[in-house]
Amino acid sequence: MGPLTENKIVLITRRTRLDELVARFNTLSQARFYVEHLGADFSDYVKEHETYLASVALAERTLKEQGRLHTVDRSFLTNFIFGANDTVVVLGQDGLVANTLKYLSGQQVVGVNPDPKRWDGVLLPFAASDLSKIIPEVLSAKRPIKEVTMAQAILNNGQNLYAVNDLFVGVRSHTSARYKIKVGKNEEQHSSSGIIISTGLGSTGWFKSLMAGAVEIASKASGTKVKMSIEPSFPWDSKYLYYTVREPFPSKTSSASLVFGKVTAKTPLEVMSQMAENGRIFSDGIESDFLEFNSGAQARITIADKAGRLVV
């Protein structure tokens, strides 16, 4: 029996920790020796691996009954060409959903949690066993969609990079990043550990930790409990971003007043690199996918020209 429709369904998978270990040490037995030699529980790696493969197998069987299935490993995302009407099913952790959204242009995404006992799955509301019910509803446009605002960095040479959670502007090493920052009519020279620009979806991650640290430092230094005037997290579909400068250093040539604020379509964040080498802009914690940001490069960071669409 063939698929019910000719709709293309793309299943995004990832390698497990065990897959990574075997790739590193060549064989399962060598991977086991390495892990157990360090005193860790190798059976946990095996259990996670088997649970994930079982979820992949169930998802593939179910999806083949619904449409034309293409299974794609996350390592091929950057080169895979999605069709405009594809339905994308992501089977993995929240980070895999975020990583996938960057490469889409309005396609609907169904997040599947392969191991609910192990992963919280904020972006993974479904199990593989739900797909037989969910996919027909998605294909017939009967499932609600939650929009996710994304960030975008555009360089003066035409290159651009999208982010679902956050963008980082800084250096590859632990040296200081040097740049000129401009928001609206205000600008100043900076020497810092970099800038983080957070979306609503990313506000429960890096942004939240930055806010928590800043509040506690200010409270301890002032001797008075500091209260935040904004929420440490904001809605996924918010039409604004927040930028936060890490460890700004005031000196004779650098200032530290433009260190936090809101970014909108009308008030983008502009950053001009003054780094001779190792300048980087990367998104969602994936340092291997970056834009070079060295002397002469200018970045305009704002709301992305596309949004993610999550099935809920």
- With a CB cutoff of 8 Å and minimum separation 6, the contacts of 267 are 183, 184
CA atoms lying within 13 Å on the CB side of residue 123: 28
Q: What is the pLDDT of residues 130-182, one digit of tens each?
A: 999 999 999 999 999 999 999 999 999 999 999 999 999 999 888 899 999 99
Q: Which residues pair with 244 in a beta bridge?
A: 196, 260
How does DSSP classify residue 248?
-
Q: Extract the tokens encoding 244.
A: 């936060």
Q: Which residues pair with 271 in a beta bridge?
A: 181, 299
How does DSSP classify residue 184?
T
Residue 49's CB: how many other CB atoms inside 10 A? 17
Q: What is the pLDDT of residues 256-286, one digit of tens each?
A: 999 999 999 999 999 999 999 999 999 998 8
Using DSSP's 3-state secondary structure scheme, residue 312 falls into: coil
Q: Which residues pair with 243 in a beta bridge?
A: 197, 261
Cα torsion angle, 272, 277, 280, 285, sign: negative
> What is the model's pLDDT at position 288?
84
Residue 84 CA to residue 287 CA, distance in Å, equals: 28
Decide if 165 contacts 149 (C-beta within 8 A). Answer: no
Residue 38's CB: how many other CB atoms inside 10 A? 8
Q: Is residue 290 scored above 80 in pLDDT?
A: yes
Cα torsion angle, 48, 102, 163, 203, sign: negative
Q: What percent of the chain has pLDDT over 90?
A: 89
Plot region of 141 (φ>0 → left; ψ -120 to 50 → alpha; else → beta): left
Domain boundaries 8-143, corresponding CATH code? 3.40.50
Residue 278 CA to residue 283 CA, distance in Å, equals: 16
The residue ranges of every structural domain in the chain are 8-143, 150-304
Q: What is the pLDDT of residues 86-122, one digit of tens each?
A: 999 999 999 999 999 999 999 999 999 999 999 988 8
- With a CB cutoff of 8 Å and minimum separation 6, the contacts of 256 are 190, 192, 245, 248, 249, 250
Decide if 107 contacts 82 (C-beta within 8 A). Answer: yes
Decide if 78 contacts 99 (C-beta within 8 A). Answer: no
> What is the model's pLDDT at position 1?
55
Residue 93 CA to residue 14 CA, distance in Å, equals: 9
Q: What is the pLDDT of residues 223-257, one digit of tens each?
A: 999 888 888 889 999 999 999 999 999 999 999 99
Residue 47 CA to residue 50 CA, distance in Å, equals: 5
Cα torsion angle, 95, 99, 104, 105, sign: positive
Where residue 4 falls among pLDDT bands split at 50, 70, 90? low
> What is the model's pLDDT at position 5?
67
The architecture CATH gives domain 150-304: Sandwich (2.60)
Give the distance, in angstroms, between the CA of residue 22 and the centroid of all CA atoms in the same chain. Answer: 26
Decide if 233 contacts 204 (C-beta within 8 A). Answer: yes
Q: Which residues pair with 109 in a beta bridge?
A: 88, 310
Length in residues, the chain: 312
Q: Which residues pair with 262 in a beta bridge?
A: 242
Q: Which alpha helices (DSSP H) does the chain contain, by range? A: 17-25, 28-37, 42-64, 94-101, 131-139, 206-222
Average pLDDT score over the chain: 94
